[in-house]
Structure 1
Amino acid sequence: MEYEVVIGLEVHTELSTKTKIYCGCTTEFGGQPNTHVCPVCLGLPGALPHLNKKVVEYGIKAGLALNCSITKYGRMDRKNYFYPDCPKNYQITQDELPLCTEGYIEIELEDESIKKIGIERIHIEEDAGKLLHTGVGTLVDFNRAGVPLAEIVSKPDLRSPKEAVQYLEKLKSILSCIGVSDCKMEEGSLRCDANISVMEKGSDKFGVRTEIKNMNSFKALEKALNYETERQIVALEKGEKLTQDTRRWDDNNNITTIMRSKEFANDYRYFPEGDLVTLNIDDKWIEEIRETIPELPYEKEVRFVNEFKIPKYDAKVLTLTMSMAEFFEETAVLSEDAKASSNWLMGDISKIMKENAVWVENLKFTPKQLAELIKLINGGTISNAIGKKIIVDMFNTGKNPKVIIEEKGLIQNSNEDEIFKVVKSVLDNNGKTIEDYKNGRKRVLGFLVGLVMKETKGKANPQIVNKLINEEIKKY
């Protein structure tokens, strides 16, 4: 029997407000445990919440960017459950009247067709604290309690783990672009719960749903969904009855493990939050917020392809974050070489950033300095190989490339007579390689070029080296 997978995602993103959703405590990441707290976010008796207007604004902004309708008359609700990191034993969230409804994101499939993934709702709520499991017991840190969240719930429109990752990547890029969240998954600013079931291919009846909780990387999401798809299919093939449950992804053993049976909405005994007034959102405010939405990543992607003539893949990667897109665009304009700008940012610079856990906005050098480096290479002052060494120095020191070149004497040698002497020496000492060339192995030319560049410490002009080798090797 053939099966089809059905996936829906519930994405929690921390909103980038300076203070928490119902009190004035800071939302800054880190800090000593239980130092970013007050009677309100600790749930102490008599402490009354007040709703942070900026949280509502950011929720509306996210909804508009995701093509949602805005609920003009709404409210906050209490979701009742007991857990050690939930100080009030209930969470202030939204139930029947979420802030945003009926939106969508479009993703591009492998055959380049466009698929629309529906967004059922976006609601705002408070985060819980954090449990710290130690060898002697479990401790709780309430610094995160009360940090504002937007929960974005997709419709069950995703049909593969790859589609789920594509959807989450695009959602992350949009939220980051509009500035409502930093979306740092490694800090928990973007977390994802996945609902997944399998059904007989062609059927319109969904299977039994499993929820996988709190995944904070694209890799973990794809692996967990692939595993769970296979687990459910194997169970059905064996005639086993699947139960609706909540599971977690065990990254060490690459399996999902059961946490508890899945709760239903009525288990939480939702009721209106009596300590907060209703929400009344007028059209004027919605339009004012709409005006603050910048060019979105997918719009920027199309413009980069058309304006800078770079490949679609490059444009997609460069627009994943607003900071990278802005760095690229300024570099491309100043250097007058968009493809070289793209290559440096996607290649050497991204590699260095990853190795050093640095974001593009924290680079010590500017787009103007990178553009200067590209012009020096294109103008023949230095070789591309030397440029790769210079970019490391620029990353470490923030110095201008011309300063580094002067300090280290890295100017490219274009003196043909001097380079000819090195080429002649390399050819004289590599008779077997020349024999291989004559026997049809043309790729050995690259090996010989590499030897010359090594002898000249990367300073020889590569174009002249190639020309001389091609001319001289025929004489042997």
Structure 2
Amino acid sequence: MEFETVIGLEIHAQLNTKTKIFCGCSTTFGAPPNSHTCPICLGMPGVLPVLNKAVVESAIKLGLATHSVINRFNQFARKNYFYPDLPKGYQTSQFDLPIVGRGEIEIEVDGVKKTIGITRIHMEEDAGKLIHDEVEPVSHVDLNRTGTPLLEIVSEPDMRSPEEAVAYLKKLHAIVRYLGICDGNMQEGSFRCDANISLRPVGQKEFGTRTELKNMNSFRHVQHALEYEVRRQRDMLLDGETIVQETLLWNPDKNCSESMRGKEDAHDYRYFPCPDLVPVEISDEWIEQVRKSLPELPDEKKSRFESEYGLPEYDAVLLTSDKELADYFEQVVAAGVQAKKASNWMMTELLRELKGEEISDCKVTPAQLSSLLLMVEKNTISGKIAKTVFLDMMESGKDPETIVEEKNLIQVSDESELMAIVAEIIAANPTQAEDFRNGKSKIMGFFVGQLMQKTKGKANPKMANDLFVKALSE
């Protein structure tokens, strides 16, 4: 029996506002436990929340960027549940009247484009954090995160593979970073994902029983968790077992999912309108004001990179997947480097040496990379030497000119100096010289390699090739 995978994602993007959603406490990450709290975010009796305007504006931005409906009238609700890190016993969220309604974004997997529907985007406050003691069987509660503003993006169940889910997640990750509303730091929990997944026989319209994979904080974990859950559910269905609706946690160390609790439905939370907050009304003028402030988004930037710089689609997609990477590329090109040459270096040498780190952590500035590439273009150094210099730059942060001077790496382009070495190599290898004269042109690589070895890689390779051809033809 063949099964079809059905996946929907619930993504939480933590907004990078300076203060929390309903109070003036700081949202700065990494502060001492329980130091960024006040009576409002601690849920003390008699306090009243005040909505942070920047949160509403961020929600409108994301709604516009995802081609979604902005609900002019929306309302907060209380989501009731009891957990140690939720001091009020309820979470202030939105339910039947969210700020953003239906929308969509386009993804691409293996060259195939697909539109994924967005059900809703709503504002809510984050809960605190439990810190489990590694020695004693106790947990500590840090409420610094309580009240931090979140946007929850709920997708339609339109994804049919883990690859599509990851592509959708990456696309939204790029959008919130381009908008500047979320730093996207998955390790710190600023951008995290819950995945609902079920299987059904191919051709069946009704969905199967779903499970929810909770709080995954890396693209790799999402991919592995969904792949595992597809295999697990398929094996159970083929064995005639019943899938239980439950919430699962992904254990990356064991590479498997583990049961956390039974999956709740909306009625389990007993939603009702929050009596402490008035409904939010958004004017058309405010929406248009926000629309005019929107930056160039990933899809728009990709199209421009293709048309303005003549880049292939593959290059444009990769370079615009991250705003800082795209900005870095444009600064290199602005300094006079050919666009394709800059793209090739960034996609190979630069991204390889970053080893997954952010471009903002790179020691090599756009100005330094452009200087290095222009040195190659002017034949000051060879392409091979440039790669060696670049590794030094990544380690030390020095300018390429400084490294080239310190290590005496300037390319040898003096014809008379090189011709003397060429004559010496030909005289020492008469058999190979005769082979070249008899039509074995591939032997040229041997001669140029000998010259590079004698000059420690500093010879101008094109000039070396031309000189050997001239000398062997005489």
Q: Verify: 1:77 aligned to 2:77, yes or no.
A: yes
Q: Which residue identity is paired with 2:144?
A: N
Residue in 1 that maps onto 2:276: 275
Residue in 1 that maps onto 2:58: 58
- Cα offset for 1:330? 2.3
- Cα offset for 1:353? 2.6
Residue in 2 that maps onto 1:406: 405
Cα distance change of structure 1 residues 2 and 292 upon mapping to structure 2, 3 Å threshold: same
- SS of alignment partner, residue 463 of structure 2: helix
Q: How does 1:38-187 map to 2 (within 5 A)?
A: 38-110=38-110, 112-133=111-132, 134-136=134-136, 137-187=138-188
1:432 and 1:265 map into 2 onto residues whose CA distance is: 84
- SS of alignment partner, residue 335 of structure 1: coil
Cα distance change of structure 1 residues 223 and 441 upon mapping to structure 2, 3 Å threshold: farther
Contact preservation (8 Å) 2:78, 2:92? yes
- SS of alignment partner, residue 101 of structure 1: coil
1:300 and 1:383 map into 2 onto residues whose CA distance is: 32
1:12 and 1:210 map into 2 onto residues whose CA distance is: 18
Cα distance change of structure 1 residues 429 and 123 upon mapping to structure 2, 3 Å threshold: farther
Q: Verify: 1:320 aligned to 2:321, yes or no.
A: yes
- Cα offset for 1:227? 1.0
Deviations 1:203-241 (A, max 9, x none): 211111111011111111111111111111111111111
1:89 and 1:349 map into 2 onto residues whose CA distance is: 49
Bigger Cα displacement from structure 2, 92-101 vs 464-473: 464-473
- Cα offset for 1:10? 0.5
Cα distance change of structure 1 residues 461 and 48 upon mapping to structure 2, 3 Å threshold: same
- SS of alignment partner, residue 100 of structure 1: coil
Contact preservation (8 Å) 2:309, 2:339? yes
Contact preservation (8 Å) 2:437, 2:472? no
- Cα offset for 1:147? 1.2
2:186 and 2:427 map into 1 onto residues whose CA distance is: 56
- Cα offset for 1:470? 6.1
Bigger Cα displacement from structure 2, 57-66 vs 183-192: 183-192
Contact preservation (8 Å) 2:337, 2:373? no
Cα distance change of structure 1 residues 441 and 71 upon mapping to structure 2, 3 Å threshold: farther
- SS of alignment partner, residue 87 of structure 1: coil
2:131 and 2:434 map into 1 onto residues whose CA distance is: 67
Bigger Cα displacement from structure 2, 11-20 vs 428-437: 428-437
1:56 and 1:24 map into 2 onto residues whose CA distance is: 16
Contact preservation (8 Å) 2:371, 2:400? yes
Contact preservation (8 Å) 2:125, 2:146? yes
- SS of alignment partner, residue 131 of structure 2: strand
Residue in 2 that maps onto 1:3: 3
Deviations 1:13-63 (A, max 9, x none): 111111111111111121222222222222233332211110110011001
Cα distance change of structure 1 residues 458 and 73 upon mapping to structure 2, 3 Å threshold: same
Q: Which residue identity is paired with 1:122?
A: I
Q: Which residue identity is paired with 1:331?
A: V
Contact preservation (8 Å) 1:304, 1:315? yes
Cα distance change of structure 1 residues 256 and 372 upon mapping to structure 2, 3 Å threshold: same
- SS of alignment partner, residue 204 of structure 1: coil
- Cα offset for 1:321? 1.3
Residue in 1 that maps onto 2:216: 215
Cα distance change of structure 1 residues 423 and 109 upon mapping to structure 2, 3 Å threshold: same
Cα distance change of structure 1 residues 204 and 451 upon mapping to structure 2, 3 Å threshold: farther
2:113 and 2:285 map into 1 onto residues whose CA distance is: 33
Q: How does 1:423-442 map to 2 (within 5 A)?
A: none
Residue in 2 that maps onto 1:203: 204
Aligned residues: 472
2:252 and 2:472 map into 1 onto residues whose CA distance is: 55
Deviations 1:414-448 (A, max 9, x none): 12343355556667888999999999998776576
2:406 and 2:269 map into 1 onto residues whose CA distance is: 67
Deviations 1:110-143 (A, max 9, x none): 2x34311000000011111222222213222222
Quick one: percent identity of the two aligned structures?
49
Question: Gaps (5+ residues) in structure 1?
Answer: none
Let me know the Cα RMSD of the aligned residues.
2.7
Cα distance change of structure 1 residues 380 and 268 upon mapping to structure 2, 3 Å threshold: same
Contact preservation (8 Å) 1:79, 1:91? yes
Contact preservation (8 Å) 2:109, 2:163? no
- Cα offset for 1:405? 2.7
Q: How does 1:306-317 map to 2 (within 5 A)?
A: 306-317=307-318
Contact preservation (8 Å) 1:335, 1:372? no
| Alignment TM-score, normalising by the size of structure 2 | 0.92
1:200 and 1:450 map into 2 onto residues whose CA distance is: 61
Q: How does 1:283-362 map to 2 (within 5 A)?
A: 283-354=284-355, 357=357, 359-362=358-361
Contact preservation (8 Å) 1:211, 1:247? yes
Q: Which residue identity is paired with 1:238?
A: D
Contact preservation (8 Å) 2:75, 2:280? yes
Residue in 2 that maps onto 1:35: 35
2:442 and 2:71 map into 1 onto residues whose CA distance is: 65
Q: Which residue identity is paired with 1:177?
A: Y
Q: Verify: 1:380 aligned to 2:379, yes or no.
A: yes
Contact preservation (8 Å) 1:77, 1:272? yes
1:297 and 1:332 map into 2 onto residues whose CA distance is: 19
1:322 and 1:65 map into 2 onto residues whose CA distance is: 15
Question: Gaps (5+ residues) in structure 2?
Answer: none
2:33 and 2:427 map into 1 onto residues whose CA distance is: 69
2:158 and 2:373 map into 1 onto residues whose CA distance is: 45
- Cα offset for 1:289? 0.5
